[in-house]
């Protein structure tokens, strides 16, 4: 099962080529010495929303492929999962707002803005952890503890991989 998860997760990250190319475009434009206000990144909110929708669908497929559920467990689990993901998506809206602000402000980020972006990013991390704690009893009502632990392992691994992929495409603020 671990090999399957690793393989599928790697495919998940690799198949995020569209996200990677969009962010690489942002990275290249931001680092270009001639990048001016008119050359700001051209990633639209619609582009980001389509990417996020695709990532959520892939994530659900990976969870389904790696979390062994009986038919009865699946009937109870997936509605809780869908609620969890809906709330997680709202939190991640804030994360993508920070990333978007970073990308569109790169080259002109002040110390105060850098501090603000950092605080907002850390607040998102905290909110995700709080959401996981909030949903723990909900998942434990429909699955035994080992399966809930497995789900959270999968969920966290996938999120870390997506975060790593996204953050590796953004240049360090200090380099602006």
Structure tokens at 57: 């669908």
Whole-Å CA distances, 114 to 39, 117, 168:
21, 5, 17
Q: What is the pTM (predicted TM-score) of this model?
A: 0.71
Where along the chain do its domains lie?
2-175
pLDDT in tens, the chain (176 residues): 433 433 344 444 434 444 344 334 444 444 444 444 444 445 567 766 777 777 778 999 999 999 999 999 999 999 999 999 999 999 998 988 898 888 888 889 999 999 999 999 999 999 999 999 999 999 999 999 999 999 999 999 999 988 888 888 778 888 77
Q: 170, 27 in Cβ contact below 8 A?
A: yes
The H or E element spanning position 4 is helix 2-14
Write the pLDDT tens digit of every residue in 100-145. 888 888 889 999 999 999 999 999 999 999 999 999 999 999 999 9
Residue 93 sits at the vertex; the CA angle it makes with 119 and 81, to the nearest 5 degrees, is 115
Two structure tokens written together for 53: 């929708």
Nearest to 56 by CA among 48, 66, 68: 48
Report d(CA 50, CA 71) in Å as an integer. 31
Burial class (CB in 10 A: 0-12, 13-18, 19+), 122: exposed
């Amino acid at each position: 099962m671990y090999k399957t998860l690793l393989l599928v997760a790697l495919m998940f990250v690799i198949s995020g080529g569209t996200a990677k190319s969009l962010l690489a475009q942002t990275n290249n434009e931001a680092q270009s010495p001639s990048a001016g206000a008119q050359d700001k990144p051209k990633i639209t909110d619609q582009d980001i929303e389509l990417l996020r929708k695709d990532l959520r669908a892939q994530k659900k497929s990976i969870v389904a492929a790696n979390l062994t559920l009986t038919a009865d467990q699946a009937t109870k689990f997936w509605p809780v999962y869908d609620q969890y993901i809906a709330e997680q998506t709202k939190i991640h809206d804030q994360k993508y707002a920070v990333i978007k602000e970073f990308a569109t402000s790169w080259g002109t980020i002040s110390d105060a803005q850098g501090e603000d972006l950092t605080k907002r990013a850390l607040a998102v991390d905290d909110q995700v952890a709080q959401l996981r704690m909030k949903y723990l009893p909900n998942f434990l009502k429909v699955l035994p503890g080992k399966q809930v632990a497995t789900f959270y392992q999968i969920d966290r691994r996938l999120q870390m991989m997506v975060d790593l992929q996204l953050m590796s495409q953004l240049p360090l603020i200090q380099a602006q």
